[in-house]
Amino acid sequence: MATAVKKTPLKQTSRTNDPERTMAEILLVANKEFADKGLAGARIDEIAAATRTSKRMIYYYFASKEGLYLAVLEAAYRRMRQIESDLHLEDLEPVQALKALVEFTYDHHQANENFIRLVMNENIQRGEYLGQSKDIQQLNGSALQTIQNLYERGVKSGVFRPGLTPLDIHSAISALSFFNVSNQHTFGLIFNHKRSSGKAQTLQRAHVVSLILNFVAKPHS
C-alpha cells in the first residue's frame, strides 16, 4: 500500500517581516485619506482595511492618528525635495536652471493634487503638526539653498537682478503653481472656464515660467 505523502504547507511571508514595505503602503493609503477628509475626518479603520493590516499595527508604527498624519506630511515633502534634487540644476546655466525648477514645481503640483490638499488642510490646522516635525525645516531648507545657489550664479553672470532673497523666488514659484491646483474647482465655476475634466486651468505652464523669469531677470538698460 502506498504511503501518503504529507504535504508541507507553503510558508507565507508575513507583512510584519517587511516593516518598510508595510509602512510605505500605510503612508500611501493614508495620504489619500487625509487629503480627502483632513485630519479630523480621516479614519484609521479605513486606512487599516485598505492596507489589509490592523489599527494596532498602524499605532505600533506611528503611535497615533496624529503621528501618522505628520508622517504623511513629511513623506510628501520629502518625495518632492528628492525629485527636485535629481534635477541637477547646478549643471545648468542659471536661466535654464530656474526654468527647469519652475517647470518641475508646476508639473509636480498638477500631478499631485493630494499634496495640495494636504498643505491646505495643514494651513487650516495653522501649521500645528508641521510645527512639531523635527525634519521639515531641513527638508525645505534644501529648496531655499538650491534657489540661493542658482540665483547667486545668475546675479554674478548678469542675467538676474540683485536684491531678491531665495524666499522671494520660492514664494512666487509656489504661489503660482499652487493656486493653479488649489483653486481649479472654484475658478472653473465662477468664471465658467472648465476643461473636459470639469476643472479649470488657471495658468498655463509656459505663462508661469515666463512670469517667474521676468520677475527674476535683470532689466535691460
> Are 118 and 76 spatial neighbours (Cβ–Cβ below 8 Å)?
yes
Task: Note the pLDDT of residue 200.
Answer: 53
Which residue in this structure is represented by grid cell 516593516? Answer: 19
Residue 94: the pLDDT is 98
Cα–Cα distance for residue pair 69/77, rounded to 1 Å: 13
pLDDT at 221: 62
Each residue of 12-27: pLDDT tens digit? 344 556 889 999 999 9
Q: What is the pLDDT of residue 98?
A: 98
Q: Which residues contact 24 (CB under 8 A, 6 or more apart)?
A: none
Whole-number pLDDT of residue 187 = 79
pLDDT along the chain (221 residues), means of 10: 44 60 95 96 96 93 96 95 92 97 96 95 92 86 92 98 97 94 82 59 88 94 62
**Predicted local confidence at residue 1, as pLDDT:** 45
